[in-house]
Amino acid sequence: MVEWVDLLRPLRRAKPFKRTLSDVGGGAHSGAELDVARMCRHFGLRRPTRQTPRVDAAGKRRWTDCEWELSDGVTLVLEVDGAFHIEVRQWGDDLKRTRRLTSRSRIVVRCTAYELRHEAAAVAADLIALGLEGRVPDDPA
């Protein structure tokens, strides 16, 4: 599709459309993951590795939404929770999953899809505070 965008001239908003296609091609599985890519571009954060397979402390195979290797060797993991994560069983499973993926060398933090869309500066500021390099937002509120 990326190749066709250039053939469809003039195509309104071709640049952001191509970026979105690139993000999807790079492994984005949801709108929230596209919002992560936008947040990274806006605040100068490196793009994360997406959908990384991991084995948790109980031996279960898991996939993480976004990961960054920090300069000190620690892996920073961002898990993005959509609306279905507020269902009681899912929420309980998410808490257990986070606990089992966290280790001395892997920090797991979570945010909601709403936060990424409407409060990206605060999420970026929190990631930067944990060691990810980027531009601290002026007003992360």
The answer to whether position 90 is within a domain reads yes
The answer to whether position 14 is within a domain reads no
The answer to whether position 109 is within a domain reads yes
The answer to whether position 122 is within a domain reads yes
The answer to whether position 43 is within a domain reads yes
Domain count, the chain: 1
Per-residue pLDDT of the chain (141 residues; tens, 9 = 90+): 556 666 666 666 666 666 666 655 555 456 677 899 999 999 999 999 988 999 988 898 989 999 999 999 999 999 998 766 567 787 888 889 899 999 999 999 999 999 999 999 999 999 999 999 999 877 766
- Cβ(133)–Cβ(45) under 8 Å? yes
CATH, residue 63: 3.40.1350
The answer to whether position 75 is within a domain reads yes
The whole domain housing 105 covers 31-129
Q: How far apart are CA 34 and CA 121, in angstroms?
A: 15
Whether the model pTM is above 0.75: no
Q: How far apart are CA 72 and CA 89, in angstroms?
A: 35
